[in-house]
């Protein structure tokens, strides 16, 4: 079993839709949770960072962490074609710098 599971997609939605992206994980000791966005032929770009459980909002993006269920989510409101990319979740145990990544979900927002 992988430490972090993520549906590869692709997920295709119309412009303006609310998008929900999710990851599950097996190690209950993970403390730090991140979402990265990766455009084709580019490096991952940090989108959201959350410590422990709870919600965090930044513009159209909301990150949720449910440690009791070992489940994290990224919501994108009013999705735009420019949101079309691969979204990677990542997490770490502590400040040891070792990030464990999901395999990424491809998102396509249709105009």
Partner 1 sequence: SAVISQKPSRDICQRGTSLTIQCQVDSQVTMMFWYRQQPGQSLTLIATANQGSEATYESGFVIDKFPISRPNLTFSTLTVSNMSPEDSSIYLCSVEGQPKETQYFGPGTRLLVL
**11, 13, 17, 99: residue in contact with partner 1 (rule CB under 8 A):** 99
**Residue 40 vs 111, nearer CB to partner 1:** 40
CA dihedral 111, 34, 51, 67 (to 10 degrees): 80
Select 79 or 105, whichever has its Cβ closest to partner 1: 105
Residue 100 tokens, joined: 């464990």
102 binds partner 1 (CB under 8 A): yes
Decide if 42 contacts 59 (C-beta within 8 A). Answer: no
Q: Could you tell me whether strands 45-51 and 54-58 are parallel, antiparallel, or unpaired per DSSP bridges?
A: unpaired
Stretch of residues binding partner 1 (CB under 8 A), selected from 14-22, 42-50, 54-62, 68-76: 42-50
CB of 14 to partner 1, least distance (A): 26
Q: Is 1 in the site for partner 1 (CB under 8 A)?
A: no
Q: Is 85 in the site for partner 1 (CB under 8 A)?
A: no
Could you give the CA distance from residue 96 to residue 111 in angstroms, rounded to a whole number? Answer: 41
């Amino acid at each position: 079993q992988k430490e972090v599971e993520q549906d590869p997609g692709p997920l295709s939605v119309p412009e303006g839709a609310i998008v929900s992206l999710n990851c599950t994980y097996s190690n209950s000791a993970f403390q730090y949770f991140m979402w990265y966005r990766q455009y084709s032929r580019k490096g991952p770009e940090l989108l959201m960072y959350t410590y422990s459980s709870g919600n965090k909002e930044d513009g159209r993006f909301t990150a949720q962490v449910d440690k009791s269920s070992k489940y994290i989510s990224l919501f994108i409101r009013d999705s735009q074609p420019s949101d079309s990319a691969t979204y990677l979740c990542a997490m770490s145990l502590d400040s040891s710098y070792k990030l464990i990544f999901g395999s990424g979900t491809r998102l396509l927002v249709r105009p």
